[in-house]
Amino acid sequence: MILTDIDDRGVATVTLNRPEIHNAFNDEVIAALTRIFRDLGANPAVRVVLLRGAGKSFSAGGDLNWMRRMAGYSREENLTDAIGLATMLRTLNDLPKPTIAVIHGHCFAGAVGLVAACDIAIAADPVQFALTEVRLGLIPATIGPYVVAAMGARACRRYFLTAERFGVAEAHRLGLVHEVVGLDGLDAAAERHIANLLAAGPRALAAAKDLIRAVDGPVTDAMVADTAARIANARSGDEGREGLSAFFDKRQPGWVK
């Protein structure tokens, strides 16, 4: 269902492993992903998390059998189920480790939310994306905050409503995907990003992710004071001192293996 591997560098690869149904996810997969993301976030040995799919597709989104079951649920049962998906997405989004979506095959519906909740997204040409929920009389609700943040409200006013497919060039133009490569260059691109992330301080990466959330809004006196406190904490902390010392000593910092 889900494969997890952590290499000796601390790079964790989480692979959606339901290729026979294009890695579609159901409530069991969602619960398992939530546990995995929480465990990886709490594991000090993990430095970077990769999200991938097995088989031909990255993910087709929701499992049709799961959605068929949901159609018979009460409103309260549907709410409980939806909170599970929303919690998984937020757990991924808030993971204190850098996350990379490596997209080798088509990515539809809820899977677009998985990509949007990752920090970095690399896609192979000719992957296609689509937000198809309205064609089932549904809406991309729980993935909405992450997809709107990635693509912008204006683009979502088109693609949420038309449910049309769009390719990697459009996904890149909109900001959903950071880099487009050929399929045979996907692993090399991922390794390049991993190398950059492993060169950074682990606590600094977590703090940088938290900073982005904190400053995403109007600049206020409280925000200015908060950012000053954050850099003061970083400078005076063990990791900041080690990083600066290593720079001036012309050596690698202790976190670089």
Query: Which residue did the predictor score with more confidence, 40 or 257?
Result: 40
CB 146 within 8 Å of CB 105 = no
What's the token pair of residue 255?
């976190």
Q: 2-197: CATH homologous superfamily?
A: 2-enoyl-CoA Hydratase; Chain A, domain 1 (3.90.226.10)
Burial 195-226 (b: 16+ CB within 10 A, else e): eebbebbbebbebebebeeeeeeeeeeeeeee
Strand 11-16 relative to strand 2-6, pairing: antiparallel
Strand 179-182 relative to strand 120-125, pairing: parallel
pLDDT band for 188, please (50, 70, 90 cuts): very high
Check whether 68 has a pLDDT greater than 90: no
Range scoring the smallest mean pLDDT among 20-24, 65-69, 129-133: 65-69
Q: Global pTM? A: 0.95
pLDDT tens digit sequence for 5-46: 999 999 999 999 999 999 999 999 999 999 999 999 999 999
Strand 179-182 relative to strand 107-108, pairing: unpaired
Q: Across the chain, what does the average pLDDT equal?
A: 96
pLDDT band for 72, please (50, 70, 90 cuts): confident
